[in-house]
Amino acid sequence: MPERTFSGGTAPRSRKIALTPTATVYLALVVLLVVGSVLVALKGGVLLDQGGILTILTRATALGLIAVGQTLVIVTGSLDLSVAYLVGLCSLVAAETMAGSGAMVVPGVLLAVALAAVVGLVNGLVITVLKANAFIATLGVALVLRGYLEHNYTGPAGSVPRSFQHLGYDRIGPVPVAALLVLLVAAGAWWYLRRTRGGYHMYAVGGDVEVARLSGVRTGRTIVTAHVLCSVAAGLAGVFLAARLGSGAPYVGTDAGYDLESIAAVVLGGTALAGGRGGVVGTVGGVLLLATLDTVFDDLAVDPFFKDVVRGVVLVVAVALYARRRSSRRSA
**Residue scoring higher pLDDT (316 or 250):** 250
* High-pLDDT (> 70) share of the chain, %: 92
| Mean pLDDT in residue range 205-225 | 95
Instruction: Report the distance separating Cα 59 and Cα 71, nearest Å.
Output: 18
Report the pLDDT value the prediction gives residue 50, as an integer from 0 to 100. 87
Mean of the per-residue pLDDT values of the chain: 90
User: Partners of 175 in the beta sheet?
Assistant: 172
- Evaluate if residue 150 carries a pLDDT over 90: yes
Q: How many CB atoms lie within 10 A of CB 258?
A: 28
pTM: 0.90
Instruction: Report the distance separating Cα 105 and Cα 161, nearest Å.
Output: 8
Report CA torsion sign: 255, 316, 81, 191. Answer: negative
> Quick one: pLDDT band at residue 251, thresholds 50, 70, 90?
very high
pLDDT digits 0-9 by tens, 89-99: 999 999 999 99
Residues contacting 120, CB < 8 A, separation 6+: 80, 227, 228, 229, 230, 231, 232
**Residue scoring higher pLDDT (151 or 3):** 151
> Quick one: pLDDT band at residue 292, thresholds 50, 70, 90?
very high
